[in-house]
Amino acid sequence: MQFSILERWRIWRDRKLASPQFQRWAADFPLTRWEASRRARGLFDITAGFVYSQILYACVELDLFNRLANGSQTAADLATHMGMSPIAAERLLRAAVAIDLLERRGENRYGLGRLGIALPGNPGIAAMVKHHRMLYHDIDDPLALFRGELGETELSRYWSYACSIDPAADGDQRVAEYSTLMSASSGFVAEDALDAYPLSAHQCLMDVGGGEGRFLLQVAKRWPNLKLKLFDLPAVVERAAAHFSTIGLANRIQVHGGNLKADALPKGADIISLVRVILDHNDDGAMHILRAVRAALPLGGTLLVIEPMSETPGAEPVGDAYFGLYLLAMGSGRTRPPRELKAMLTAAGFDQIRLVRTRRPLQTRLIAARAA
């Protein structure tokens, strides 16, 4: 194999950097010490990441973050609450302090740490952490997962539509759990997307794959005159409709149940949103959905694609590592970089496609496109 000069230089550099002598030298030398220890720590964090996740999981299961939201508590009180010996409790608390979930306050008290502070106000994070038990199980043998040797995974059962031939036939018991999780975790996504793309210029929004309607509830609050429609699987929109009735919004939001890969979408909206929908589908399914959306929009209508995307600067591990494996375990879909989504949108009949800046691109990116 003939390598370019650049590649030969890289091979020389990699060998140099990999050698134990060089690493020892870099760890001692004042100008490289900081970078050497940053890299060692980075590699160790990846090696130990699954342990950190289990510490977080244990704290969430024990409801520690909500418990400490009103102030610090003693290790003895926490041990009683956690049903553990004081020695075991101390070990868990110290572990949580070490990864910034908790903070040691004084000799013997614990409070919320720099990272743990986000949890009490966001029940969606705890719900995501809890449902990761299934993901731990599915990635237990990552090579079997990548080689497609696992058969039915826990996540593919959980997201019942992911591998189903007829998802519209699913009843409440199959959609309830994931719909609840989606509702719990949609707050930030809706807030960031709606701050980035105000809807004042529109008359009627249809949220396709809108789950129990959390996104629409935020829209309803901000734009009281906008007409609203929700499209999702029949069992999911039934849940949404029941909720809209309870809170007195049944007359404001029209619900439509169906299979967006088989049925035509209702017309009448001048803007359609797909929030965390396209990433769930393989390329054929995703293209089918984009074309169905195009067919439902009038010429000049708007589509918003709102979801985490791959190749997001500063958030590469989220799109490519986390969602990469998550969606593989789920059995359908992938995160796509904006350039790929733009190409798909063009092929589906959209123009004026642009990436709109959002506050937290790590979890919410937004592409707006016009029906051409």
Binding site for ligand SAM (CB under 6 A): 161, 167, 182, 186, 189, 209-211, 214-215, 232-233, 236, 259-261, 275-277, 280
Least Cα distance to 93 among 114, 75, 68 occurs for: 75
HSE toward the beta carbon, residue 39, CA cutoff 13 A: 10
Q: Considering the complex, what minimum distance in angstroms separates the CB of residue 276 from ligand SAM?
A: 4
Residue nearest to ligand SAM (CB): 209
Least Cα distance to 255 among 226, 277, 231, 279 occurs for: 231
Residue 276 tokens read as 């965390």
Q: For residue 177, report the phi and psi dihedrals to the nearest 5 degrees.
A: -65, -50
Q: Which is nearer to ligand SAM, 138 or 232 (CB)?
A: 232
Q: Considering the complex, what minimum distance in angstroms separates the CB of residue 97 from ligand SAM?
A: 33
Q: Considering the complex, what minimum distance in angstroms separates the CB of residue 195 from ligand SAM?
A: 16
Angstrom distance (rounded) from CA 255 to CA 236? 10
Q: Which is nearer to ligand SAM, 270 or 280 (CB)?
A: 280
Q: Considering the complex, what minimum distance in angstroms separates the CB of residue 273 from ligand SAM?
A: 8
Q: Which is nearer to ligand SAM, 39 or 288 (CB)?
A: 288
By CB atoms closer than 10 A (0-12, 13-18, 19+), residue 177 is: middle
Q: Considering the complex, what minimum distance in angstroms separates the CB of residue 260 from ligand SAM?
A: 4
Angstrom distance (rounded) from CA 336 to CA 340? 6
Q: Considering the complex, what minimum distance in angstroms separates the CB of residue 164 from ligand SAM?
A: 8
Q: Which is nearer to ligand SAM, 116 or 213 (CB)?
A: 213
Pairing of strands 109-112, 73-74: antiparallel
Q: Which is nearer to ligand SAM, 73 or 186 (CB)?
A: 186
Q: Which is nearer to ligand SAM, 68 or 255 (CB)?
A: 255
Residue 236 tokens read as 């999911």
